[in-house]
Structure 1
């Protein structure tokens, strides 16, 4: 009887710890980012400096616990052809998976569209944090997505 109680106690503790860890990983450390708190920028081909672009309907999340947890969605009236002539393209753009509850951002779809050439990746800002770049992917219809990813400093 005592072994059964100990076993049930261990199972309860393990289930509780698993639920707490899941909550901490998926929900606890993310905060919504207000549009007024974010300036969407792309790096100019001419000056090699970030320049603000038009970004409407911004939705975003971020976390102070990691520089690569930033994700965002917005729209822009700027055309892909104008953007490619004016701003630096980003090689090896790989959108990072976000939490499932942040529904406007789907890394798998964005990644597939980048590979297919439907969406075009641009450098938002180099080294926004040490070894981390801000990347922006823009679709022909003006939908755009923004995230942080590790740069060559941390390449394998």
Structure 2
């Protein structure tokens, strides 16, 4: 009788562990079907980013679950000079599920730290309190992810957001491919 109870408990524990693993690494992520909105924000508005070979995933449970990998034909001099984009020196890529192998947050972070890649605000407030960020290299590689902006950090920790943040009641989030 005791062996049966132990075996049953182990099977339940294994099943729960497998379920949690699946939920965290696969269950809430789906490939983005259709066009992905990749832009570069500047003082004059949004500039479409000429991206090719786009692979993207998004989480169904959080706007922070977006990740994308792509190729581009811009130089960093064009991006920082001609397009007058908004640099994001504190860009910090977030870890993607292991099966989305084109997005290696640690490697992207190292490229940003070494200056080989530069981070830019791609789309401010893609979701309330969340900006889309891109990292671009001169050799034509690019990655995108969503991260909390100042409004998001304030809104989610309970601090009053202030007038610089959009009105949450009338805010409309980005719909992928709408630009």
After the TM superposition, which parts of structure 1 deviate over 6 Å for at least 4 consecutive aligned residues? none
2:52 counterpart of 1:56: yes
In the alignment, what sits opposite 1:108? 106
The structure 2 residue matched to 1:41, chosen from 39, 42, 56, is 39
The structure 1 residue matched to 2:88, chosen from 90, 100, 110, is 90
Q: Post-superposition shift, 1:53? A: 1.6
The TM-score with structure 2 as length reference comes to 0.81
In the alignment, what sits opposite 1:22? 21
In the alignment, what sits opposite 1:142? 140
Query: In structure 1, how many angstroms separate the alpha carbons of the residues matched to 2:115 and 2:18?
Result: 40
Deviations 1:25-79 (A, max 9, x none): 1011111113x4212101023x1x2221201110111112111110001111111
Unaligned runs of 5+ in 2: 158-179
Q: Post-superposition shift, 1:11? A: 1.2
2:77 counterpart of 1:81: yes
The structure 2 residue matched to 1:67, chosen from 60, 63, 70, is 63
Residue-pair matches, total: 152
Q: How large is the Cα RMSD of the aligned pairs? A: 1.4
The TM-score with structure 1 as length reference comes to 0.92
Query: In structure 2, how many angstroms separate the alpha carbons of the residues matched to 1:102 and 1:52?
Result: 24
8 A contact 2:132–2:146 mirrored in 1: yes
Query: In structure 2, how many angstroms separate the alpha carbons of the residues matched to 1:57 and 1:81?
Result: 22
Query: In structure 1, how many angstroms separate the alpha carbons of the residues matched to 2:64 and 2:37?
Result: 17
3-state SS of 1:68 partner: helix
